[in-house]
Structure 1
Amino acid sequence: MNSRLIFLFTCFLFSCMYGQVEKIEPPFWWSGMQQNELQILCYAKDIAKYDIEIKDVTILEVKKTENKNYVFVTIDTQDIGPGKIAIDFKYNNKVEFSQSYEFKQRKEASAQRKGFDSSDVMYLIMPDRFANGDPKNDTHSHTLEKADRSNPGGRHGGDIQGIIEYLGYLKDLGITTLWSTPLLEDNEPTYSYHTYAQSDFYKIDPRYGTNDDYKRLASEMHKLDMKLVMDYVTNHWGSKHWMINDLPTKDWIHQWPEGFKRSNYRMTTQFDSNASKIDAKGCMDGWFDTTMPDMNQSNPLLLKYITQNAIWWIEYADLDGFRVDTYSYNDKEGISKWTKSIMDEYPNFNIVGEVWMHNQAQIAYWQKDSKIGAIDNFNSYLPSVMDFTLHDAITVMFDEDENAWDKGMIRAYENFSNDFLYANINNVLLFTGNHDTNRINEIYQSDINKYKMAMTLILTTRGIPQLYYGDEIGMLGNRDKNGDGDIRRDFPGGWPKDEQNAFLPPEKNGRTKDQEAFYAFTKKILNWRKNASTIHKGKLLQYIPFDNVYVYFRYNDEKSTMVIINNNTKDRKVDIGRFKEGIKDFKTAVDILTDNNITITEEFTVPAKTSMILELK
């Protein structure tokens, strides 16, 4: 009798397991959204055999694919208020089971949230390498790779709690916006710390914390009047994503007859009118790497999935912006629809796309309302792009000491002379380095004067400046010689047993004398910039560099700021008469870097390898 009861109970449990939804995504939604169509993915063994009904809700479409484990249900949400609805799964006209689905109350004025802009300074961190606030989550039972801080390419233990604990450091430094490389789960067995091979798009990697922790990070930042930018990956997923192991459709990812095929990385094929079709396909459909299946954004089910996922994170975590990884490798029509849907929902939001190219026209093509894109009737709707050509110039020009036709500060001048190519030049992201490039202080061999000139440039010219974590204390790293781990070193002091804590000042056994010199300069210019209206929105007036001295003005109707960068190895005098157009009727100035007062009606000297930022009075 007992064995029979056990058998019947086991059958009952199996029936319950078989007749339930294993995964439902998005896991919940909000009432009052601007866009009224919601696609709900339901996943379970043979779930496609059921018919779907939802009482008092209009079902627009029920899509079943060749994989019987999926059903995509699209509903009209216009009249759905906060609360729960029941999704009924029927077989032979009988309800076999129901799945509860919740609509939450949307945050007031959520649609009007304001994204980052040129009044901000963005700080990029790799969370695994920044600070370890909770050592207990360094290794997790649900993820494959375990913590090993001795391995430059391994997990080191930095997490969300660590970021929260040092928000005060960032605020004091003068940072207004934080961009973290991805925090979603990456369950690759090795090299998972960079988190660009994501295995669950609705889950923070448990080695970083929880979804609630990420939400708390945004909340704590907003209390400090700071903004949070999510690094979003549309082009590829991780090989360990649960959906990759059971594809909804064969064309959910790009597949090749020969198996794995790496992208040719030639993004010019996206707009080259002379490009062969096979080369264009090789860029867009080739995989970024062996562990990163290339997603097919031309598949409407996938496109809707990643669009809703992006909106879900904005709404759930209260985000202020996206940085989109490898933007220009996506199917360009698909990614433009993705971008437009998000911007339609949040008109004041901001999204910056990684378009790693070395020609301004080619980068500008990808910005919203580009006249270049209009040539082939393309609009990406992407508000912001990254100024990689300026980065290219910055990495060489401060080593070019002598006056030359095409070297030194003329590189900066020539870069800005092509600003007319961009639809919105103030919404371009500027940087001296990031998580994929050699450290700026490695390039310039810890020469603080060269660091100061580089930072002066990106923090006072047009656009949105971005710093890479640790540059403000002179951190080094060379990926060409030592691999990616070298440019992604741990921030000293972010781990409880670190010998030195560079988050603290020297008098508290913190930063060294050299680190403090980098830090003090960065802090001074960043905190001045917070209230510098000419830098935020002012026009740019630049002069051709002579003797490797570059002069430009940022100005509006009331104020003017004069910037001088002397990249010469000798002191140079400033010819006031030549700059009358920028100086106008101003007679004195304060150099915000030294606090010195300067009379600008007469000639003055700028020391060698030095910059000046003059607020004209």
Structure 2
Amino acid sequence: MKNILTVLFGLIVSLTFGQIEKIEPPFWWSGMQSGQLQLMCYGKEIAKYDIEMDSIPIIDITKTENPNYVFVTIDTKAVQPGKVVINFKENDKVAFSQPYEFKARREGSAQRKGFDSSDVIYLIMPDRFANGDTTNDSHKDTLEKADRSNPGGRHGGDIQGVIDHLDYLNDLGATALWSTPLLEDNEPVYSYHTYAQSDLYKIDPRYGTNEDYKRLASEMHKLDMKLIMDYVTNHWGSKHWMIEDLPTKDWIHQWPEGFRRSNYRMTTQFDTNASAVDAKGCMDGWFDTTMPDMNQSNPLLLNYITQNAIWWIEYADLDGFRVDTYSYNDKEGIAKWTKAIMDEYPNFNIVGEVWMHDQAQMAYWQKDSKIGAIDNYNSHLPSVMDFTLHDAVMVMFLEEGNSWDKGMIRAYENFTNDFLYPDINNILLFAGNHDTNRINEIYQSDINKYKMAMTLIFTTRGIPQIYYGDEIGMLGNRDKKGDGDIRRDFPGGWPDDKRSAFIAEGTSGEVAGRTQDQEAFHAFTKKVLNWRKNSDAVHNGKLLQYIPYNNVYVFFRYTEKESVMVVINNNSENQELEVGRFKEGLKEFKTGKDIITDNTIDVTENLSIPARTSMIITLK
């Protein structure tokens, strides 16, 4: 009887204190370039056990001040696909065992090609795009429930809604999709933006499942489209299970008063005159009260987010990352994170959000920057976002006349600083995104101004990105009405919508199609983007620009085999251009075709261009 009680007691102890709750990554792949893997093992007082693996060498075991964690680094160079066993031992006896799986990689996985300047990226807020599965609008495991009447609440958009409308995106001419984060965000309010993540290995159940996300990538690849994940390295959500039980005290940046907001002065990252307290205030301050600031100088945390990023690339078959608040991270840590990913996938692409207003400061963050080299820094980040061009686009089409520093000269001056960037074609361009006022709000639904702005974005150097709904003239003002106003539901994305902007104007049936005004915005966007798909001059050509006269900006994109002339008349009056001035760009060309109007243009004669008009002329 005593022996039976002893066995039962040992079993109870094992179940209560020994059974592992999580191993992350949950599985891995054979044939990975790094050759090492660090397993995060979590369970009640799991650190008291010794750990052995029969078939894989253990390089290191790290235990922290929290006995619920053990970090096990293993050698995976020779590992083959299949399951191995991890033994947790106490007093030289196996207390319990845990299987762990290594999967076979996709053929050619390491050489996957990321997004580039041949692509046009379509940015969506998934909660606001389309509700393809109404059964997951609310979920028992998450706090915030759906309330479409609340501008800052959950509205029900999901991964299935995106899959259902991939044909719309493909027809529009988009070749890549950037979705704001889809990982679980279990904050009780304002969780739809999902930048306060609570589980880095789990798609938010209100969006779908991990399998749904993998299926999204697969369906996109069938259409030769690319999927870009919005990855957040700088902060997690306050409800993340690891935040609630920290592996180490310095897993996050701690402050004596509990919370200190970042000063947001990213210039302190490279300012040679910056005080230490200000630099720490930027890097270590929290982005918001619900977003603890992660400490990338902690090697365990850095390795955790590095492996997590690689896991999602491999698992979902991703084509790129957009990294949120890139320049708020510990800059040495984020450089190691970026390099590790690019070493594993040398043709991948990562664009970082570096929201600054000076080209030299943005160029500092691009890979191999000569500016970064001044203080021996290399971020290894392939791409940054062109916020200075965005700044210019926000105002220049509101400015009249022949000014020294206003109107189209803003575009010209932006590009005069291109020499600062080590890879100018790998810059992401945009007129608006999920954090800015809607472009059509700023230009008061003036389609001519929209056409001029997007002509510039779609034809100059770099990788253009369009924000969902801009192509149908959607409005929104965050300054007056908050973020929810610039993140409105896409018309037709919900079963009870009476009008759908996913379908053409005048479509018969119970649901009406696009309005006449929406159709005008859409038709222009679709025409230019589908033309752009086949223009090597716009994808890879050089940029030749001319100083704007009378608020008319002219530039050329050209290769040895193709030339495109772009004319933007940001003037309230018609203008006539003396073509002789553009001889360098026109070369021996005699005619061209304006792809916007389909008109044939004689480029040997002076060129007349109507007021508030853009032209994209393919030269022949």
TM-score by length of 2: 0.98
* CA apart distance, 1:349: 0.1
Give the Cα–Cα distance (whole angstroms) in 2 for the partners of residues 132 and 139 of structure 1.
12
SS at the partner of 2:289? Answer: coil
Give the Cα–Cα distance (whole angstroms) in 1 for the partners of residues 346 and 310 of structure 2.
13
> Which of the numbers 538, 555, 558 marks the counterpart of 1:555?
558
Q: What does residue 395 of structure 1 align with?
A: 394
* CA apart distance, 1:12: 4.3
Give the Cα–Cα distance (whole angstroms) in 2 for the partners of residues 34 and 368 of structure 1.
21
Give the Cα–Cα distance (whole angstroms) in 2 for the partners of residues 606 and 441 of structure 1.
23
Q: What does residue 443 of structure 2 align with?
A: 444
Per-residue CA deviations over 1:146-179 (Å, capped at 9, x if unaligned) read 0000000000000000000000000000000000
Equivalent AA in structure 2 for residue 197 of structure 1: A
Q: What does residue 66 of structure 1 align with?
A: 65
Q: Is the aligned partner of 1:95 residue 2:108?
A: no
Q: Is the aligned partner of 1:35 residue 2:30?
A: no
8 A contact 2:426–2:463 mirrored in 1: yes
Structure 1: which 5+ runs fail to align? none
Q: What does residue 583 of structure 1 align with?
A: 586
Give the Cα–Cα distance (whole angstroms) in 2 for the partners of residues 376 and 606 of structure 1.
48
> Which of the numbers 598, 601, 608 marks the counterpart of 2:601?
598
Per-residue CA deviations over 1:171-216 (Å, capped at 9, x if unaligned) read 0000000000000000000000000000000000000000000000
Equivalent AA in structure 2 for residue 359 of structure 1: D
* CA apart distance, 1:57: 1.2
SS at the partner of 1:169? Answer: helix
Per-residue CA deviations over 1:567-588 (Å, capped at 9, x if unaligned) read 0100001111100000000000
> Which of the numbers 516, 520, 523 marks the counterpart of 2:523?
520
Q: What does residue 565 of structure 1 align with?
A: 568
Per-residue CA deviations over 1:456-494 (Å, capped at 9, x if unaligned) read 000000000000000000000000000000000000000
Q: What does residue 315 of structure 2 align with?
A: 316
Give the Cα–Cα distance (whole angstroms) in 2 for the partners of residues 43 and 305 of structure 1.
13
Seen in structure 2, the aligned counterparts of structure 1 residues 7 and 49 have a Cα distance that, compared at 3 Å, is closer
> Which of the numbers 598, 612, 615 marks the counterpart of 1:612?
615
Give the Cα–Cα distance (whole angstroms) in 2 for the partners of residues 54 and 13 of structure 1.
24
Give the Cα–Cα distance (whole angstroms) in 2 for the partners of residues 142 and 521 of structure 1.
44
Q: What does residue 283 of structure 1 align with?
A: 282
Q: What does residue 216 of structure 2 align with?
A: 217
8 A contact 2:38–2:303 mirrored in 1: yes
Per-residue CA deviations over 1:558-602 (Å, capped at 9, x if unaligned) read 111000000010000111110000000000000000000011101
Q: What does residue 111 of structure 2 align with?
A: 112
8 A contact 2:14–2:95 mirrored in 1: no
Give the Cα–Cα distance (whole angstroms) in 2 for the partners of residues 439 and 113 of structure 1.
34
Q: What does residue 335 of structure 1 align with?
A: 334
* 1:163-202 → structure 2 map (5 Å cutoff): 163-202=162-201
SS at the partner of 2:244? Answer: helix
Give the Cα–Cα distance (whole angstroms) in 1 for the partners of residues 5 and 314 of structure 2.
46
Q: Is the aligned partner of 1:146 residue 2:145?
A: yes
SS at the partner of 2:228? Answer: strand
Give the Cα–Cα distance (whole angstroms) in 2 for the partners of residues 111 and 7 of structure 1.
52
Per-residue CA deviations over 1:518-539 (Å, capped at 9, x if unaligned) read 0000000000000011000000
8 A contact 2:16–2:44 mirrored in 1: no
* CA apart distance, 1:259: 1.0
Per-residue CA deviations over 1:322-372 (Å, capped at 9, x if unaligned) read 000000000000000000000000000000000000000000000000000
* CA apart distance, 1:507: 2.5
Q: What does residue 76 of structure 1 align with?
A: 75
Give the Cα–Cα distance (whole angstroms) in 2 for the partners of residues 469 and 262 of structure 1.
31
Give the Cα–Cα distance (whole angstroms) in 1 for the partners of residues 19 and 10 of structure 2.
14
Give the Cα–Cα distance (whole angstroms) in 2 for the partners of residues 327 and 19 of structure 1.
38
* 1:456-605 → structure 2 map (5 Å cutoff): 456-508=455-507, 509-605=512-608
Q: Is the aligned partner of 1:86 residue 2:69?
A: no
Q: What does residue 245 of structure 2 align with?
A: 246
* CA apart distance, 1:8: 9.3
Equivalent AA in structure 1 for residue 135 of structure 2: K
CA RMSD of aligned residues (A): 1.3
Give the Cα–Cα distance (whole angstroms) in 2 for the partners of residues 423 and 604 of structure 1.
36
Equivalent AA in structure 2 for residue 332 of structure 1: K
Give the Cα–Cα distance (whole angstroms) in 1 for the partners of residues 13 and 431 of structure 2.
58
Seen in structure 2, the aligned counterparts of structure 1 residues 441 and 45 have a Cα distance that, compared at 3 Å, is same
* CA apart distance, 1:17: 4.1
Give the Cα–Cα distance (whole angstroms) in 2 for the partners of residues 505 and 608 of structure 1.
29
SS at the partner of 2:307? Answer: helix
SS at the partner of 1:245? Answer: coil
Ranges of 4+ aligned residues in structure 1 off by more than 2 Å: 5-19
Structure 2: which 5+ runs fail to align? none
8 A contact 2:506–2:515 mirrored in 1: no
Give the Cα–Cα distance (whole angstroms) in 2 for the partners of residues 558 and 187 of structure 1.
53
Equivalent AA in structure 1 for residue 144 of structure 2: E
SS at the partner of 2:547? Answer: strand
Q: What does residue 128 of structure 2 align with?
A: 129
TM-score by length of 1: 0.98
Seen in structure 2, the aligned counterparts of structure 1 residues 596 and 236 have a Cα distance that, compared at 3 Å, is same
SS at the partner of 1:531? Answer: coil
Seen in structure 2, the aligned counterparts of structure 1 residues 6 and 128 have a Cα distance that, compared at 3 Å, is farther
Equivalent AA in structure 2 for residue 531 of structure 1: N
Give the Cα–Cα distance (whole angstroms) in 2 for the partners of residues 519 and 401 of structure 1.
27
Per-residue CA deviations over 1:56-102 (Å, capped at 9, x if unaligned) read 21111000000000000000000110001111111111111111100
SS at the partner of 2:517? Answer: helix
Q: What does residue 428 of structure 2 align with?
A: 429
Give the Cα–Cα distance (whole angstroms) in 1 for the partners of residues 577 and 605 of structure 2.
9
Give the Cα–Cα distance (whole angstroms) in 2 for the partners of residues 344 and 6 of structure 1.
55
8 A contact 2:538–2:557 mirrored in 1: yes
8 A contact 2:356–2:388 mirrored in 1: yes
Give the Cα–Cα distance (whole angstroms) in 2 for the partners of residues 8 and 111 of structure 1.
49
Give the Cα–Cα distance (whole angstroms) in 2 for the partners of residues 511 and 13 of structure 1.
64
How many residues get paired? 614
Equivalent AA in structure 2 for residue 209 of structure 1: G
Equivalent AA in structure 2 for residue 184 of structure 1: L
Give the Cα–Cα distance (whole angstroms) in 2 for the partners of residues 563 and 351 of structure 1.
29
* CA apart distance, 1:282: 0.1
* CA apart distance, 1:279: 0.2
Equivalent AA in structure 2 for residue 507 of structure 1: G
Give the Cα–Cα distance (whole angstroms) in 1 for the partners of residues 538 and 11 of structure 2.
68
Equivalent AA in structure 2 for residue 216 of structure 1: R
Q: What does residue 270 of structure 1 align with?
A: 269
* 1:320-399 → structure 2 map (5 Å cutoff): 320-399=319-398
Give the Cα–Cα distance (whole angstroms) in 2 for the partners of residues 273 and 6 of structure 1.
69
Equivalent AA in structure 2 for residue 193 of structure 1: Y
Give the Cα–Cα distance (whole angstroms) in 2 for the partners of residues 127 and 481 of structure 1.
23
SS at the partner of 1:237? Answer: coil
Q: Is the aligned partner of 1:415 residue 2:418?
A: no
Give the Cα–Cα distance (whole angstroms) in 2 for the partners of residues 147 and 523 of structure 1.
33
Give the Cα–Cα distance (whole angstroms) in 1 for the partners of residues 56 and 209 of structure 2.
32
Give the Cα–Cα distance (whole angstroms) in 2 for the partners of residues 395 and 185 of structure 1.
33
Give the Cα–Cα distance (whole angstroms) in 1 for the partners of residues 515 and 344 of structure 2.
47
SS at the partner of 2:192? Answer: coil
* CA apart distance, 1:604: 2.1
* CA apart distance, 1:117: 0.1
Give the Cα–Cα distance (whole angstroms) in 1 for the partners of residues 40 and 10 of structure 2.
27
